[in-house]
Structure 1
Amino acid sequence: MGGVDATMRVERIEKWVYFYAAGADTGSFLARLASYAVDTLADGHGSRAFILSARGKIQVGFECYRLNSAAHILCCHAEQAETFTRLLDMYHFGEDFELCPMDVTQAYFTAGTADQEPLSQFHIGDMNALDYAARTCRFRDRDYRVLKTARYGHPVYMIAPVAEGPDPLLAEFSLIHQTDIGFDHLEYERIAHCIPSAPNEFIDTYTPLDIGALDGITDGKGCYPGQEVIERTIALGRPSMKLVAVSAQTRLKMNQDVSHDGRVVGRITSCVNTGETASIGLAVLKYRSADLESWTIADGDLKKRPLSSE
């Protein structure tokens, strides 16, 4: 599989859920919980963030997009949505904050750049410079939320109408001649670029530092659950684990043990087949073992893989 070189239509990504967060205290409330200083985001900007346990382990990873000071869009994997809403409810103590699920069944997903069709019609070319971004756009007397995520290693945009019901513009977009790509292609790109994500790497076994998710942490940020563990680990300069890109001439399996010299040193967290008898994946390994060039799995050898340069 290759990279995403032109605008492509993406099948609806049902594995992620979206919430509209409204209220004057939204930014400060989320910042009190999150590992990233989301209250410092500028309008139209977004970021990944985590809510951690007291031990610094990941309870949930999410994306936060600021539309304006009183409106944000939050996004997390469907498998972590219940945990996410439970944590927000648990820490909510009367702040001006309201969370509402977004209906994205009519949304249009596309991979590419903002200056190509159909995105160019929204005049959002400045989004090209951002990994995570969001806008409310007015087009043909209708309002749309446009979100950009970098969770797959290539930009993927969601265009969602604000109004309920069938949308004529998105119906037009469906007729534009574009190559169709599915979630499997996006997952390949994510693994090829060694990008950790939910639910595979965002689990309570690891800290964000263990999986290299530094873009979801603001170093030196004020108090949040797990802060002391994160800051202590940063000060030491080395987490206990490390995310590594790997490949094998066999079919890798999720949660498969990875060994060296007869000892288990980690496990496979993500994998995708690249041929009948080959695959690439991500493994979280003990830090001292992560610098090796090869390891063993139950049915063969595991090799360190160079990252995609695309």
Structure 2
Amino acid sequence: MIQALRDIQKKIGAIFEGESNTPSSFGNDREAIEAAKAGVALWDRSSWGLLQLKGEDRSRFLHNQTTNNINSLQPGQGCDTVFVNSTGRTLDLATAYLTEDAILILVSPNRRGQLMQWMDRYIFPMDKVELADISYDNAIFTLIGPESDSLVKQLAGESMSLVDRPEGSHLLVQIGENSIRIAVGSGLALPGYTLIVPVEAAAQIWSKLTGLGAIPLGDRVWEQLRILQGRPVPDKELTEDYNPLEAGLWKAISFDKGCYIGQETIARLNTYKGVKQRLWGVKLNAPVAAGTPVTLEGDKVGVLTSLIETEAGLFGLAYVRTKAGGAGLTVAVGEASGELVSVPFLTHEYYQPQKGNF
């Protein structure tokens, strides 16, 4: 059924590269970037995974598996949360949406199978938890840009009650014969919404969104936006070499929730201010490959993890030792020179937990 969507996308110029099943570009990269900044862009995120937890113990189970306070959420709420291993190293940054009878978990494309296996390992016979991969049953569309509110109201009606609600808030909306879940948040530090659409309705909803003025945006532009914004992704910034505090994912961590996998390491790093490196944006004057060491006065202080070329120049993400310095610091990245800059998606703040919570 997803083929009907692909056919529509190809008619408007979609380009598919490699093994990806979502468009890398629509031949409109500059227009799409401007729409994300000043209008509304539409990104087909259907290559991402959508996992489902059901059963009475579903909230407790995910609460114990990830960094955020899942037990505090009510149906209609959601949050970003991080899967970490037993030593607090990152597996993935995910978004959890609580419904009346399930938890939907949006995960990175290259972590879907791993996280299914990871969670399955921790479901014991006495647990009332059912885990399923429902990725192929749904398409995921994300609206990005300041005009998203207006478009969502046109799509779902003026009474749409998600406008001005906290990120992660979501509603099931009836559009024609289809029930669409609309959630606040673009996955970036930009305004927007994420739509979970039954795959049989994907082509119809895509056409409706573009008909209302959304500009199609391919994976290539999203990669540029996510680096400029500082969103870390698996196999680049999120690996077992780094923990979520170093990755700047403090907003996705609850320091008051009690025990979970990896909690002891993360709590200790926070309590003793033990974060020895952090993720920065870096403006570069020449192209270099991801993995190139970052040096200061000849000494290695970090590593470049991502790089893209923009109209304003070359921009990347890099882990740099905290003792080396921060925003404004000039470093060498291979043969290139770079300047560290803050990026809006990341936060790096130490937190003092309430006594008795650990």
TM-score in terms of structure 2 length: 0.77
Q: Which moved more, 1:121-130 or 1:71-80?
A: 121-130
Distance 1:76 1:109 in 2: 14
- Which residue number corresponds to residue 284 of structure 1? 319
Following superposition, the deviation at residue 159 of structure 1 comes to 2.8
1:117 paired to 2:148? no
Q: Paired residue for 2:337, among 287, 301, 305?
A: 301
State whether residues 78 and 95 of structure 2, in contact with CA within 8 Å, keep that contact through their aligned partners in structure 1: yes
State whether residues 268 and 274 of structure 2, in contact with CA within 8 Å, keep that contact through their aligned partners in structure 1: no
Cα 1:255–1:15 change in 2 (3 A) is farther
- Which residue number corresponds to residue 96 of structure 1? 128
Following superposition, the deviation at residue 108 of structure 1 comes to 4.0
Which residues of structure 2 form unaligned runs of 5+?
1-32, 346-358
Secondary structure class of the residue paired with 2:289: coil
Distance 1:177 1:107 in 2: 18
1:246 paired to 2:282? yes
State whether residues 45 and 141 of structure 2, in contact with CA within 8 Å, keep that contact through their aligned partners in structure 1: no
Distance 2:176 2:225 in 1: 34
Q: Paired residue for 1:232, among 251, 268, 279?
A: 268
Cα 1:260–1:163 change in 2 (3 A) is closer
Cα 1:170–1:222 change in 2 (3 A) is same
Q: Paired residue for 1:146, among 182, 186, 189?
A: 182
Higher helix share: 2
Distance 1:104 1:148 in 2: 21
State whether residues 250 and 279 of structure 1, in contact with CA within 8 Å, keep that contact through their aligned partners in structure 2: yes
Secondary structure class of the residue paired with 1:79: helix
Following superposition, the deviation at residue 128 of structure 1 comes to 3.7
Cα 1:297–1:180 change in 2 (3 A) is same
The residue type paired with residue 149 of structure 2 is: D
Distance 2:94 2:203 in 1: 28
Which residues of structure 1 form unaligned runs of 5+?
none
Identity, % of aligned positions: 18
Query: Mapping of 1:34-73 within 5 angstroms?
Result: 34-68=66-100, 70-73=101-104
Following superposition, the deviation at residue 275 of structure 1 comes to 4.3
1:23 paired to 2:58? no
The residue type paired with residue 87 of structure 1 is: W
State whether residues 244 and 283 of structure 1, in contact with CA within 8 Å, keep that contact through their aligned partners in structure 2: yes
Distance 2:79 2:39 in 1: 24
TM-score in terms of structure 1 length: 0.87
Following superposition, the deviation at residue 284 of structure 1 comes to 0.8
State whether residues 35 and 49 of structure 1, in contact with CA within 8 Å, keep that contact through their aligned partners in structure 2: yes
State whether residues 137 and 198 of structure 2, in contact with CA within 8 Å, keep that contact through their aligned partners in structure 1: no
State whether residues 259 and 265 of structure 1, in contact with CA within 8 Å, keep that contact through their aligned partners in structure 2: yes
- Which residue number corresponds to residue 39 of structure 2? 6
Cα 1:274–1:163 change in 2 (3 A) is closer
What's the C-alpha RMSD, in Å, of the aligned pairs? 2.6
- Which residue number corresponds to residue 79 of structure 1? 110
Distance 1:166 1:152 in 2: 23
Q: Which moved more, 1:220-229 or 1:300-309?
A: 300-309
The residue type paired with residue 237 of structure 1 is: K
